[in-house]
Amino acid sequence: EVQLVESGGGSVQAGGSLTLSCTAFGFTIDDVDVGWYRQPSGNECELISTFSNDGTTYYTASSVQGRFTISRDSAKNTVFLHMTSLKREDTAVYYCAADIAESGARGGICSAVYNYWGQGAQVTVSS
């Protein structure tokens, strides 16, 4: 079965760090583009960062610039979102997405052009 499985969410104090994992099953993560989104409660999704299959980060939102980075572990078929200097406003459900839909069809909870979506990971930052 083709799916993305997220892990690593949790609660952390402001200023702390957290790393989310997004593991692919049924396909090779190296072969696809990946995006990370987040959705604060009651708000719309925000695109955080995109990571190309060639290992290049193409986009990082200004709200997380300098604090969040993406990396990939090919052996684990996993992409990571490393979050540092966390702020209360980073509290949200975080979603990974992979494999841009060539048809341009939008899908997933954030209605973006990726074929596969993780189940979401809650990150709560307290002061």
**What are 3-33's pLDDT values in tens digits?**
999 999 999 999 999 999 999 999 999 999 9
Q: Where does residue 107 rank: exposed (0-12), middle (13-18), buried (19+ CB within 10 A)?
A: middle
The answer, yes or no, to whether residue 48 has pLDDT greater than 90, is yes
CA distances from 122 to 41, 52, 75 (A): 10, 24, 26
Q: What is the pLDDT of residue 126?
A: 97
- β-partners of residue 108 are none
Identify the residue with better confidence: 111 or 82: 82
The answer, yes or no, to whether residue 35 has pLDDT greater than 90, is yes
The answer, yes or no, to whether residue 57 has pLDDT greater than 90, is no
> What integer is the mean pLDDT of 96-114?
89
Identify the CA nearest to 70 among candidates 90, 101, 32, 96. 96
Q: What is the pLDDT of residue 105?
A: 84
Angle at 66 between CA 61 and CA 71, to 5 degrees: 80
Residues above pLDDT 70, as percent of the chain:
100
Residues above pLDDT 90, as percent of the chain:
85
Both structure tokens of 2 = 């083709």
Q: Give the Cα separation of 59 and 34 in Å (integer).
A: 11
